[in-house]
Chain A
Amino acid sequence: MDTNQYLEMFIDESKEHLQACNEHLLELEKNPLDLAIVNEVFRSAHTLKGMSATMGYEDIADLTHMMENVLDAIRNSKIRVTSEILDVVLQAVDYLEEMVMDIASGGSGKKDVTKLVESLNRIEVGGAVVAETAAAVVLEDKGSLKDSLSYDGYEMTVISQSFDQGFSTFEINVKLRDDCLLKAARVYMVFEILEKSGEIVKSEPKVERLENEDFNETFTVALITKEDADVLKAKVLKVSEIESVSVIPVTTDYLMRDTSEESAEETESITPTIIEEDAKKGKRNSGVQSGNKTIRVNIDRLDVLMNLFEELIIDRGRLQSIASEIHNPELNETVERITRVSGDLQNIILNMRMIPVETVFNRFPKMVRQLARDLNKKVELEIIGAETELDRTVIDEIGDPLVHLIRNALDHGVESPAERVAKGKPEEGTVTLRAYHSGNHVFIELEDDGAGVNRERVLAKAIKSGIVTKETAETLTDRQVAELILASGFSTAEKISDVSGRGVGLDVVKNTIESLGGFMSIESKEGQGSLFQVQLPLTLSIISVMLVELKKEVFAIPLSSIIETAIIQTSDIMNAHNQQVIDFRGNIIPLLNLTEIFEIPEQNSESDGYQSVVIVRKGERLAGLVVDSFIGQQEIVLKSLGNYLQSVFAISGATILGNGQVALIVDCNALIK
């Protein structure tokens, strides 16, 4: 079968299902007894298994199959949900994600999953993850525990009463040969033999299923008898076509295990009805969601739509100017209508490109859980405003910076439980990730209630690494000190951890955010925690620029890098080492003549003694760009120059102006070294 055409769909859907798995598993950890959640995960895993098997990705299918087994065991209350089990299952989901990503990037989706499959197997078999050293023991017990029966209250009473009366109880596990033809007959014979020796209290699978041959090669029965295990075994083995028989005595301890589990469930048994109701409600909600009909549209198509639409806007502009010349009321009315309709259309098209920030946030709960475990800390991640929408150009970029911030908050922010208790804080730290709109910007905040920034330590470190001098250190406000940790080459953690790296982190985050046209700031109170605030533009495809003229050519300078514009006297320009500089509010900043840099053909320009200068910045460094004149501020649509012209110096892209002309966008970061 040619599966290529389904590949994209497969990848998209796999990602969705894996995400669903992640979310539900984390939820499951909080409500380990809510089987409705297990069912959800099971369903996702099952779909994934089916899809990957169809597409021929065996490793994914294998792994999901094992996951499914474990989930099935949980669902049937054979094993109980513990953090350890979830660790392994989540790891399996991680692996699956990696494999799916591999496929998405053109790989084969193969990965060595044997180890994971083994630990999943072990869970399914043993109901617990045992440290590697104990693994052998568990494997030995495999047969016994795997098929061990669970008993209901009545059966248990019977068994424990039989103990009192001197009977013993055995679990007899019978494995038929693969080539056994008359399975039901053999089962019947085994049952007959056993019933002569004692009383069968339970069988797994149920007798009806055994009679219908609705089982694999093995079945297990519980027998109350006075005979010895060896005798029983010998008797059963007399039946032909039987591969093996194991007889395990059922002891009171063994029963107690079940009872304790049972009682645990018992205590909850008042709530199941409620849980189930909740589950139903949940389902109804999700039903409503899926009632919202959606289709998948390739982002490229939206881009094409956007392009055509912009063309329409340009023509609309022309039409408007023509209409204003002709003074025909009917024409004017029509143009006005077009203006209004196209305005609405523009909003719709822009909104179509917006996606909730959830798509980035939803991988964090798992990450935080894992990190907290690695660091032996207790951390609760609270997410607020995941539905906040952002243009996908921004969404694609903010993932990594946020990961870094969260890692930083967990590693350096939140203290260890012991420290927290000593400071009189709750043992569990809270990290809040918040997203909200404000004006034309989206704010993403990460707040922790951890240690906060220690002024003395930060200053000592900053002075040592030469970021500030002793003299200036005294004058800095708390906020300025906090922002020092964003400076490059800064790391206060005494020991280097592999969690938040080697102090190359936060300045990289800051630079990334700034390259997206955003800002980043920190507020911190020592002992009470820190707040990292990231401010981002709503979209990267539409930016505000200052249009400037250089001779006859128009260039656009992003407003995000402009500090201010100024008109200076030519006599104020000084020379330092062949570099023109000016004194800008007490700072000496270099002056760059854009006409020269962009090799604009010289026309005889007579200087009137004044120069228009745009002061731009890259991080903390400033430069003045000399231009001929300012045209004004405008919102423009960012376009790339395409693949033919690769990386043109100091040009980050192009845009189409209202008159249909192309204007180039100046990349100030390339101009300032």
Chain B
Amino acid sequence: MTDKLNQKEVKVIVFQLLDMEYAISVDTVQSIEKVLSITRVPKTPAYVKGVINLRGIVTPIVDLRERFGLTPKEMDDSTRIIIVTLDEYDVGLIVDAANDVLDIPVNAIEPQPAVVGSIESDFVSGVAKVGKHLLVMLNLDKILEPVKRVTSDGF
């Protein structure tokens, strides 16, 4: 992430959504899980898939595809949940596949071009070109802003 820029290389986890590859710093990743049984939580935004029991801790799960406004996809064998740790909470991200751990040279990361796919640009902190891969670096703090009460009147 940005504060790592003064280092020569950053270690990132690479994952896939549709045909794009994304990267988040390995420091924020707590673990990568196979799909566990998710309990739906009513009256939350559609991208909040629910909560899972992560070793005794109730952890909310966000479908990144839906968060980015991409077409949702049924979960399959390659679907992974990446558990990331933010300042105040842990959140699980549903991704199509978690591919790799890479060291990216810092100077390979560039500020995002004006248009990157269909993702809201606030979510992107930069783009890295590694070999023939193009990796989109994500700004997790923005993506995972706390969900305030959506509906206060129930009936």
Contacts and interface: CB of A to CB of B under 8 A. Distances in A.
A and B associate = yes
Interface of A: 307-311, 553, 592, 596-600, 639-651, 654, 656, 660-664, 670-671
Interface in B42-61: 42-44, 48, 50-53, 55-60
B58 A649 contact: no
B53 A649 contact: no
Contacts of B151: 649
A648 B53 contact: no
A665 to B, nearest CB: 11
Contacts of A596: 155
Contacts of A598: 42-43
Nearest to A312: B56
B154 A670 contact: yes
B42 A307 contact: no
B102 interface: no
B60 A597 contact: no
B7 interface: no
A662 B92 CA distance: 15
A660 B147 contact: no
A212 B51 CA distance: 77
A642 B59 contact: yes
B149 interface: yes
Contact of A646 (B90, B91, B146): B146
Contact of B41 (A308, A656, A664): A664
B152 interface: yes
Contacts of A646: 146-149
Given A597-B154, A599-B43, A645 B53 contact: no
A553 B40 contact: yes
B133 to A, nearest CB: 30
A554 to B, nearest CB: 8
B40 A645 contact: no
Kindly state the interface size class of chain B when it binds its partner. 20 to 34
Contacts of B155: 592, 596-597
Contacts of B43: 598-599, 648-650
A671 to B, nearest CB: 7
Contacts of B58: 639-642, 654, 656, 662
Contacts of B44: 645, 648
Contacts of B91: 644
A645 B147 contact: yes
Interface string B112-155: 00000000000000000000000000000000101111111011
B149 A307 contact: no
18 contacts: A307-B55, A553-B40, A597-B42, A597-B155, A599-B42, A641-B41, A641-B51, A642-B60, A645-B41, A645-B44, A645-B147, A650-B154, A654-B51, A654-B58, A656-B56, A662-B51, A662-B52, A664-B51
B31 interface: no
Nearest to A650: B154
Interface string B63-104: 000000000000000000000000011110000000000000
Nearest to A655: B58
B39 interface: yes
A664 B149 contact: no
Interface of B is mostly: loop
Contact of B89 (A599, A643, A654): A643
B144 to A, nearest CB: 7
A643 B60 CA distance: 9
A645 B42 contact: no
B104 to A, nearest CB: 28
Among A598, A643, A654: residue with most chain B CB under 10 A: A643
Contacts of A640: 58
A671 B53 contact: no
B37 interface: yes
Given A641-B41, A650-B42, A664-B41, 20 more contacts: A307-B55, A309-B56, A553-B39, A597-B154, A598-B43, A642-B90, A644-B88, A644-B146, A645-B44, A645-B51, A645-B147, A647-B149, A648-B42, A648-B149, A649-B154, A651-B42, A660-B53, A662-B50, A662-B51, A663-B39
A647 B39 CA distance: 17
Given A643-B89, A646-B149, A671-B154, A660 B39 contact: no
A641 B149 CA distance: 13
A284 to B, nearest CB: 45
B148 A662 contact: no
Nearest to A306: B56
Contacts of B90: 642, 644
- Most chain A CB within a 10 A radius of its CB, from B43, B55, B56: B56
Given A641-B51, A644-B89, A662-B52, A307 B57 contact: yes
Contacts of B53: 656, 660-662
Interface centre among A645, A651, A671 (most CB of B within 10 A): A645
B107 to A, nearest CB: 34
B55 A311 contact: yes
Given A553-B39, A644-B91, A650-B154, A308 B146 contact: no
Nearest to B45: A645
Contacts of A645: 41, 44, 48, 51, 60, 146-147
A596 B42 CA distance: 10
Nearest to A592: B155
B149 A649 contact: yes
Nearest to A640: B58
